[in-house]
Amino acid sequence: MCAESVFPPPENADENGIVAVSRTIDTGLLKDAYMHGIFPWPFGEEYDVIPWCAPLERGVLMLEDFHIPRSLVREMKKMDFSLRIDHDFPAVIRGCARALRKEAPGTWITSQVIDAYCEFHKMGYAHSFETYDSQGELVGGLYGISIGRIFCGESMFYKRSGASKFAFVKMADVLKAKGVVLVDTQMVTSVTASFGAVEIPSADYIRLLEKYRGKPLKFRELDASE
């Protein structure tokens, strides 16, 4: 059983997918939200409120449908990258925040979000999949939330071409080995679509969530050569 939520149900979301707003974000709200199909999407540092969202259409990647584009298979054979998990979560989320700032003014990964997710990481819910080059430099990666057999992807970044896609492919391998069934991508982008992500109605996602949610998985640190 899942505890009753402080949030309104996802079906109450408005046309923009917003369920509720708050002035703060903490680990209690994060756990409650993800367990009920909701996630925060702040407008930026300059805004006083944080929207909590449940999109009317949800991006999901069923791992049984995961595939690697042929062009990426060829690229990966030339990559000198390795994977580490949870080695430097703060560096990954800050890397994602910096990458978003390059694309548009501000970022939804605000300082308050960084602090909350770093605490969520310490609790075992938030995890980072990190790409390192042959010199041991962090050159890309992604982070997300583990809730049983669902992994909620949050954001990716790269400093070298292909580094975030490398992390995504290796993440999928690890998740499948752990028995994870789907990755919640929130939205479908050109990158996630290339791996097999599709949009489904929010109600269908909630049914999957109710079936597969649970305690966060534990990941040991490893590299891609293992």
Domains of the chain by start residue, with CATH: 10-55 (no CATH), 58-212 (3.40.630.70)
Kindly indicate the confidence band of residue 103, based on its pLDDT and cuts at 50, 70 and 90: very low
Q: What is the layout of strands, in order, in the sheet containing 39-40?
A: 18-22, 50-53, 39-40
Report the percent of the chain where pLDDT is more than 70.
90
Is 141 a residue whose pLDDT tops 70? yes
Pick from 10-14, 96-100, 106-110: least confident: 106-110
List the Cα angle 50/52/54 in 5-degree steps: 155
Q: Give the pLDDT confidence of 1-56 residue by residue, as tens digits.
A: 567 899 999 999 999 999 999 999 999 999 999 999 999 998 766 667 899 999 99
Tell me the C-alpha distance between 97 and 94, whole Å: 5
Q: Which residues pair with 8 in a beta bridge?
A: none
Tokens of 117: 């997710």
Tell me the average pLDDT across 118-135. Answer: 97
CA distances from 177 to 61, 77, 131, 149, 174 (A): 16, 22, 19, 11, 5
The pLDDT value recorded for residue 224 is: 42
The pLDDT value recorded for residue 219 is: 82
Q: Give the pLDDT confidence of 109-120 residue by residue, as tens digits.
A: 889 999 999 999
List the Cα angle 194/196/200 in 5-degree steps: 125
The pLDDT value recorded for residue 88 is: 97
Kindly indicate the confidence band of residue 225, based on its pLDDT and cuts at 50, 70 and 90: very low
Cβ distance 160 to 182 under 8 Å?
no
Dihedral angle sign, alpha carbons of residues 5, 189, 117, 149? positive
Instruction: For residue 22, give every residue at least 6 positions away whose Cβ sits within 8 Å of its Cβ, in sequence order, or none.
Output: 29, 49, 50, 52
Kindly indicate the confidence band of residue 104, based on its pLDDT and cuts at 50, 70 and 90: low
